């Protein structure tokens, strides 16, 4: 299985003299996840501004976000190597190294995330998770109430609503930073990360370690990957469905 790709084999710096060839760096489920959650974020923003008619859609977008993030967490354990927590570098040393790489005017050729990229995606997803979770308790004092609004006191709901608004600004800042880094890579480092997230492949120097990774991916097969992704999605969806199902009944008196 995929775990034959050892962490150490991923951490060596690439041999930049090797000939370039397209390598699959992001599996299809991960790419679909990426663009879905990006769309969800934009749509959530628009529906939050658009008025009453869009309240319900905003709510469902929140549920979708929660499902997608749960999927991503599962995928971090059973996805292909570049999606896995265990295959990424998280240490301080790796962070410094990737920071140094970031300011070089040369492509990083990283298979999956750089160490900064790993942390950045954790931060970005955590922000979105906090956003969706606080939304469960939020109210606009007019006609919107998250499903868990009745579970807390009015004061707490008000606090969480405030957090929901504040955190959105943090998300915006994180997204702007994310997009700036993409531009930085494209213009300064001459590496196109966006197309890699669309088509899945990146032109990389052919080295021994990438051959290992590729054969590892071939071992699992496309259908196998998709089947695993579907199972993860089903588990994530079921989890969120249960969470929503257990929401307390709101009490109305009149």
Q: Which residues bind another protein (CB under 8 A)?
A: 51-53, 56, 140-143, 145, 158, 161-162, 165, 249-250, 252-254
Q: Which residues contact 133 (CB under 8 A, 6 or more apart)?
A: 66
Taking the complex as a whole, the smallest distance from the CB of residue 175 to ligand HEC amounts, in Å, to 30
Partner in contact with 254, chosen from ligand HEC, another protein, none, beta carbon below 5 to 8 Å by kind: another protein
Taking the complex as a whole, the smallest distance from the CB of residue 155 to ligand HEC amounts, in Å, to 10
Question: In the complex with another protein, which residue's Cβ is closer, 1 or 142?
Answer: 142
Question: In the complex with another protein, which residue's Cβ is closer, 12 or 165?
Answer: 165
Question: In the complex with another protein, which residue's Cβ is closer, 158 or 201?
Answer: 158
Q: Which two tokens stand for residue 63?
A: 């549920």
Question: In the complex with ligand HEC, which residue's Cβ is closer, 103 or 142?
Answer: 142
Q: Which of residues 142-161 bind ligand HEC (CB under 6 A)?
A: 142
Helices (H), the chain: 7-11, 28-49, 55-78, 92-102, 115-135, 154-187, 193-199, 208-220, 222-245
Q: Which of 50, 141, 215, 234 binds ligand HEC (CB under 6 A)?
A: 141
Partner in contact with 92, chosen from ligand HEC, another protein, none, beta carbon below 5 to 8 Å by kind: none
Question: In the complex with ligand HEC, which residue's Cβ is closer, 1 or 142?
Answer: 142
Q: What angle do CA 227, 230, 234 make, to 5 degrees?
A: 140
Cα 103 to chain centroid, rounded: 24
Taking the complex as a whole, the smallest distance from the CB of residue 143 to another protein amounts, in Å, to 4
Q: Angle at which helices 28-49 and 55-78 pack, to 10 degrees?
A: 160
Taking the complex as a whole, the smallest distance from the CB of residue 76 to ligand HEC amounts, in Å, to 41
Of the candidates 205, 231, 252, 251, the one whose C-alpha atom is nearest the C-alpha of residue 74 is: 231
Listing DSSP states for 57-102 in one string gives HHHHHHHHHHHHHHHHHHHHHHS-GGG-TTTS--SHHHHHHHHHHH
Greatest Cα-to-Cα distance within the chain, rounded to the nearest angstrom: 76
From residue 211 to residue 240, the character string flagging contacts with ligand HEC as x (rule: CB under 6 A) and all else as - is: ------------------------------
Residues 75 and 83: beta-carbon distance below 8 Å: yes
Q: Which residues sit at the interface with ligand HEC, rule CB under 6 A?
A: 141-142
């Amino acid at each position: 299985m995929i775990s034959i790709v050892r962490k150490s084999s991923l951490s060596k710096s690439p041999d930049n003299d090797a000939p370039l060839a397209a390598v699959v760096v992001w599996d299809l489920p991960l790419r679909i996840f990426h663009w879905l959650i990006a769309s969800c974020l934009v749509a959530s923003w628009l529906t939050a501004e658009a008025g009453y008619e869009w309240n319900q859609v905003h709510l469902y977008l929140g549920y979708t976000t929660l499902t997608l993030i749960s999927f991503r967490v599962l995928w971090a354990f059973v996805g292909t190597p570049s999606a896995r927590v265990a295959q990424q570098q998280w240490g301080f040393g790796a962070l410094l190294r990737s920071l140094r790489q970031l300011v070089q005017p040369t492509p990083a050729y990283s298979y999956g995330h750089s160490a900064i990229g790993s942390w950045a995606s954790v931060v970005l997803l955590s922000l979105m998770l906090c956003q969706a979770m606080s939304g469960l308790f939020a109210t606009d004092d007019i006609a919107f109430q998250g499903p868990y609004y009745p579970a807390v006191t009015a004061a707490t709901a008000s606090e969480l609503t405030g957090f929901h608004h504040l955190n959105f600004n943090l998300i915006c800042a994180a997204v702007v930073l994310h997009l700036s880094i993409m531009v930085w890579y494209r213009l300064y480092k001459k590496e196109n990360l966006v197309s890699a997230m669309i088509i899945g492949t990146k032109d990389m120097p052919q080295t021994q370690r990438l051959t290992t990774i590729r054969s590892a991916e071939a071992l699992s097969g496309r259908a196998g990957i998709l089947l695993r992704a579907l199972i993860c999605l089903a588990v994530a969806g079921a989890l969120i469905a249960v969470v929503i199902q257990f929401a307390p009944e709101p009490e109305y008196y009149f």
